[in-house]
Chain A
Amino acid sequence: MEKIGVFVCHCGSNIKGNVDTAAVVEQISHVDGVAMAVEYPYMCAEAGQAMIRNAITEHGLTGVVVAACSPRMHEATFRKAAERAGLNSYMVEIANIREQCSWVHRDTVSATKKAVALARAAVAKVHRNTPLHPGESSVTKRALVVGGGIAGIQAALDIAEAGFEVTIVETTPSIGGKMAQLDKTFPTLDCSACILTPKMVDAAGHDNIAIHTYSEIEKVEGFVGNFTVSIRKKARSVDMDKCTGCGDCWAKCPVKRVPSEFDSGLCNRTAIYTPFAQAVPNVPVIDRTNCVKFKTGRCGLCRTVCQPGAIDFDQQDEIITENFGAVVLATGYDTISLDKFGEYAYHDSPDVLTALEFERMTNAAGPTDGRIVRMSDGHKPKSITFIQCVGSRDITNRGKTYCSKICCMYTAKQAILIKDKYPDVDVQVFYIDVRTPGKNFDEFYRRAAEEYGVKYIKGQVGKVVNVGDTLHIQAVDMLEGRHMDIQTDMIILATAIQPSATAKTTAGMFSSSVDQNHFMTEAHPKLRPVESHTAGVFLAGCGQGPKDIPETVAQASAAAAKVIGLLVKDKLMTNPCTAATDEDLCNNCGLCGNVCPYGAITYESKLTASVNNALCQGCGACVVTCPSGAMDLHGFTNRQLMAEVDAICK
């Protein structure tokens, strides 16, 4: 005979305010198998948990139902309490009478009725619960970091410093990411490269860090603690061991007109190149689509001049397979295309730049040696106009619905940089709202306006026309209600940012999800901000959402802490709620294997499907797919679920 205890929580007034908890206790106490039922203001408090523990001992309870908040909040708490009193933790069920009753129903009568029904369903389920025992799986004490920008570098350094091996995989020829392209950083105006390159060098020289640049994730198998990842190392056409990074090859390369990705297309690079002077590793790659040797078979000048003989035209892509216990996804961002924003004349005038292009222009190592000039005629501009929110906060199919977050601050920074170099240049900013929350951020923006005399105009630009050697702007000053027809020499667009093109496919390979904008989704927006929905996969940087450098570094270190917390464990407890086949019913049709997202189902015996408990995540897809009802999920069996439905319908 089952002896079930029911514990009804008030959650202060959160539940009691709209559910008659006394009535729930009264009605549930008459249900078959219920040995006792009580209510208490805060079941999750130590006194509430003690109440559960004591009841288990005193009444010899065989099952526990806690009618309280969502199981996402406190299921683990109550299971632990039961375990301490010697009851198997899987004999505890939660009836969610807060989120599903008191918070969502207006009147107490119907909220109470539903609370009783849910409590009855939980009791019915406990009747059919069986004790379950988690298994154990091993932990490979190595981490993978996907993306070699500041987020990936910071996460890798933190993990490596804790004593674990880390592999960074980066698609471009060098680590450094977007931060390497920036001139100065807000709100302190320190040089971006000066604070980044030491970290790049640290990462490259660290005994625990291996860096694969010009590489991509090819295939992912496994699960938390035991990922097996294939990495495609694209053919560099240069032997990394022999190359000294002397630069003779790119000095001689006859192909000189490939737009430089690093310099945002403001100048050209050669076909054999390193993206920038401080590249890590300082080994060039041959861009085979533009190389004359690969296009026509003739040339080979780089090989002729290379003293160490590092050039290897026959090099092939190499696929290496490594095991990891944890993964950090730090795939970063790109700016959106401006093809749909013809009104800003970006494609009509070389003097209309994106902010990232301007970063290269104002950088002393950039194509103009830091001089701010019009790309059309090389002259110094007399007036420069910034346009904010280009494609951000735009709900049409042209832009992105979200605020790109970093633009208000980098616009203030770029305006200050201009005024610092050329105080005589007129600088104005067209904004919709200036959003600068953050430590010393608003002060920084106000300095731009107050100390440097940057003119801020509330209103959006409607149209830019390239007329001869000036840009004509049509706009509205919303505060004065004045229409503006003005001329300017240079325009800088605060273009919306979006996740890198690889974010969605990379997340997919790790069974992790992305949102409607292809940003990677965190497990909980407030309480689990650096974890993905997949155990062992963590998130850092702009791949998860727009953020600036301080936030990115903080998130990367947080992700690293999570990784370290995982890797220090020798064994991981596995979820016992996995699927299992009834061999008498299974006819080996193969449907379950097709729907399993984790590759946990095999048909090795040729007679029935078998589930690998280490891979199974208990999603239940196979159970609903199985036509013969042979699949069942421990802890959520068909019998348990039907008993719940029956109890609710009573």
Chain B
Amino acid sequence: MHSNHTKNELLAISGADIDRCMKCGRCSASCPSHQAMDIRPHQFVSYAADGRVDALLECNSLWQCLSCFACIQRCPRDVKPAQLIEAARLMVIRQQGENYIDPDEIPGLLNNDVPQQLLVSAFRKYRK
């Protein structure tokens, strides 16, 4: 039996509306990291819908997603798969209970050439 609690948590953190998905696959077709992913963006949505959140928290895709947001940009239904992946990463980090980078260190790492989103996503990814 899948834990509904975790599914709701994933959806709440992500803000993604997975019921809108019409399974066209354009998210995975747009993903530059698809080859390295064990669960691809469109499958992420199906897994979340089925409540198979544990599998998502353990998958390798979490650490392969580049946060480029191509899937969000191209999705015709505004489902936001990258936000689901981001939420799953956050849940892993929260379970581990500590952060690799102290938030106070972020201002020092800021650089005009680096998108802030990349920095935020990256330091969470390499925590694992």
Binding site for B on A (CB under 8 A): 343, 389, 393-396, 398-399, 432-433, 458-463, 474-476, 478, 481, 483-484
Q: Fill in one digit per residue for B44-77: 1 if any A CB lies within 8 Å of its CB, else 0.
A: 0000000000000000000000000010001111
- A463, B76: Cβ atoms under 8 Å? no
- A478, B78: Cβ atoms under 8 Å? no
Q: Say yes or no: A475-B29 contact (C-beta < 8 A), given A394-B76, A483-B34.
A: yes
Shortest B81–chain A CB gap in Å is 12
User: In the complex, what residues of B have CB within 8 A of residue A481's CB?
Assistant: 43
Top-4 shortest CB links A-B: A462-B29, A462-B30, A394-B76, A460-B26
- B42, A389: Cβ atoms under 8 Å? no
User: In the complex, what residues of A have CB within 8 A of residue B29's CB?
Assistant: 459-463, 474-476, 483-484
Q: Say yes or no: A474-B22 contact (C-beta < 8 A), given A343-B74, A393-B76, A462-B74.
A: no
- B28, A483: Cβ atoms under 8 Å? yes
How far apart sit A478 and B22, CA to CA, in the bound complex (Å)?
11
How far apart sit A592 and B124, CA to CA, in the bound complex (Å)?
64
Binding site for A on B (CB under 8 A): 20, 22-31, 34-35, 40, 42-43, 70, 74-78
- B30, A389: Cβ atoms under 8 Å? no
How far apart sit A474 and B40, CA to CA, in the bound complex (Å)?
14
How far apart sit A484 and B31, CA to CA, in the bound complex (Å)?
12
- B26, A462: Cβ atoms under 8 Å? yes
Shortest A436–chain B CB gap in Å is 17
29 contacting pairs across A/B (C-beta < 8 A): A343-B30, A389-B24, A389-B76, A394-B77, A395-B76, A395-B77, A396-B76, A396-B77, A396-B78, A432-B22, A432-B23, A458-B25, A459-B24, A460-B25, A460-B26, A460-B29, A461-B29, A462-B28, A474-B29, A474-B30, A475-B29, A476-B40, A476-B42, A478-B23, A478-B25, A481-B43, A483-B29, A483-B35, A484-B29
Shortest A23–chain B CB gap in Å is 42
User: In the complex, what residues of B have CB within 8 A of residue A474's CB?
Assistant: 29-30
In the complex, number of A-B residue pairs with CB atoms less than 8 Å apart? 65
User: In the complex, what residues of A have CB within 8 A of residue B26's CB?
Assistant: 460-462, 476
Shortest A472–chain B CB gap in Å is 12
Q: Say yes or no: A432-B24 contact (C-beta < 8 A), given A459-B29, A474-B30, A483-B35.
A: yes
User: In the complex, what residues of A have CB within 8 A of residue B28's CB?
Assistant: 462, 476, 483
User: In the complex, what residues of A have CB within 8 A of residue B78's CB?
Assistant: 395-396
User: In the complex, what residues of B have CB within 8 A of residue A343's CB?
Assistant: 30, 74
Taking each of B29, B31, B42, B78, which has the highest tally of chain A beta carbons within 10 Å of its own beta carbon?
B29
Main secondary structure of the interface of B (DSSP, over half): helix
Shortest A517–chain B CB gap in Å is 15
User: In the complex, what residues of B have CB within 8 A of residue A393's CB?
Assistant: 22, 76-77
13 more contacts with CB within 8 A, not counting A432-B24, A476-B26, are: A393-B76, A394-B76, A394-B77, A396-B78, A398-B76, A432-B23, A460-B25, A460-B29, A462-B26, A462-B30, A475-B25, A475-B29, A476-B42
Shortest A647–chain B CB gap in Å is 44
How far apart sit A633 and B26, CA to CA, in the bound complex (Å)?
56
How far apart sit A396 and B42, CA to CA, in the bound complex (Å)?
18
How far apart sit A535 and B30, CA to CA, in the bound complex (Å)?
50
User: In the complex, what residues of B have CB within 8 A of residue A460's CB?
Assistant: 24-26, 29
Q: Which residue of B lies closest to A484 (CB)?
A: B29
Taking each of A343, A395, A462, which has the highest tally of chain B beta carbons within 10 Å of its own beta carbon?
A462
Shortest B54–chain A CB gap in Å is 21
User: In the complex, what residues of B have CB within 8 A of residue A458's CB?
Assistant: 25
Q: Say yes or no: A395-B24 contact (C-beta < 8 A), given A389-B76, A460-B29.
A: no
User: In the complex, what residues of B have CB within 8 A of residue A389's CB?
Assistant: 24, 76
Shortest A483–chain B CB gap in Å is 5
User: In the complex, what residues of A have CB within 8 A of residue B70's CB?
Assistant: 462
Shortest A385–chain B CB gap in Å is 13
Q: Which residue of B lies closest to A341 (CB)?
A: B74
User: In the complex, what residues of A have CB within 8 A of residue B27's CB?
Assistant: 462
How far apart sit A483 and B97, CA to CA, in the bound complex (Å)?
36
Shortest A75–chain B CB gap in Å is 40
Q: Which residue of A lies closest to B26 (CB)?
A: A460
How far apart sit A389 and B25, CA to CA, in the bound complex (Å)?
13
Shortest B23–chain A CB gap in Å is 6
- B75, A396: Cβ atoms under 8 Å? yes
Taking each of B20, B42, B74, which has the highest tally of chain A beta carbons within 10 Å of its own beta carbon?
B74
How far apart sit A519 and B120, CA to CA, in the bound complex (Å)?
44
User: In the complex, what residues of A have CB within 8 A of residue B43's CB?
Assistant: 481
Shortest B72–chain A CB gap in Å is 10
How far apart sit A515 and B35, CA to CA, in the bound complex (Å)?
44
User: In the complex, what residues of B have CB within 8 A of residue A399's CB?
Assistant: 76
Shortest B78–chain A CB gap in Å is 5
- B76, A476: Cβ atoms under 8 Å? no
Q: Which residue of A lies closest to B75 (CB)?
A: A396
Q: Which residue of B lies closest to A393 (CB)?
A: B76
Q: Say yes or no: A478-B74 contact (C-beta < 8 A), given A343-B30, A483-B34.
A: no
User: In the complex, what residues of B have CB within 8 A of residue A476's CB?
Assistant: 25-26, 28-29, 34, 40, 42
User: In the complex, what residues of A have CB within 8 A of residue B24's CB?
Assistant: 389, 432, 459-460, 478
Shortest B36–chain A CB gap in Å is 11
Q: Which residue of B lies closest to A478 (CB)?
A: B25
Shortest B21–chain A CB gap in Å is 11
Shortest A563–chain B CB gap in Å is 39
Q: Which residue of A lies closest to B30 (CB)?
A: A462
Q: Which residue of A lies closest to B43 (CB)?
A: A481
Q: Which residue of A lies closest to B23 (CB)?
A: A478
Q: Which residue of B lies closest to A394 (CB)?
A: B76
How far apart sit A459 and B28, CA to CA, in the bound complex (Å)?
10
Taking each of B20, B23, B26, B77, which has the highest tally of chain A beta carbons within 10 Å of its own beta carbon?
B26
Shortest A365–chain B CB gap in Å is 35
How far apart sit A494 and B75, CA to CA, in the bound complex (Å)?
17
How far apart sit A295 and B24, CA to CA, in the bound complex (Å)?
50
